[in-house]
Amino acid sequence: MKLNVNKDLCLGCGACCATAPDIFEIGEDGLATVKVEEVAEEFIEDALDAKDGCPTSAIEEVNEDALDAKDGCPTSATEEVNEDALDAKDGCPTSATEEVNEEEKENN
């Protein structure tokens, strides 16, 4: 199991450190950080307790299957949606990025 602390949500309260001191620590930025690359089997229960007890839900479990699928996709079709790309599509003056209209497909 791999964990991540979302720094945008973390308050630095240290609850996770108190619950799972072998997994979490407070970093120089005053926020929690994960000390280990992978949570050892004997610490999984403590890690999950810390995750569940986080007052801001800043502790996230990393989904390895999703990362493997994204990294292994030959077409890069599993890339995250980029909001700027969606805005660019909406503002494209040539309409080259518009979706195919169903009527156009029938007429061709």
Domains and CATH numbers, the chain: 1-95 (3.30.70.20)
| Residue, of 20 and 99, whose pLDDT is higher | 20
> What's the pTM value of the predicted model, to 2 decimals?
0.60
What letter would DSSP give residue 65? H
Residue-averaged pLDDT of the chain: 79
Per-residue pLDDT at 64 = 73
Q: Answer yes or no: is pLDDT of 73 > 60.
A: yes
DSSP helix, strand, coil percent of the chain (3-state; round to 5): 40, 15, 50
If phi > 0 it is left, if psi is from -120 to 50 it is alpha, else beta; for residue 30 that is left
Residue type, 25: E
Rounded-to-integer distance, Cα 39 and Cα 23, Å: 7
Per-residue pLDDT at 41 = 96
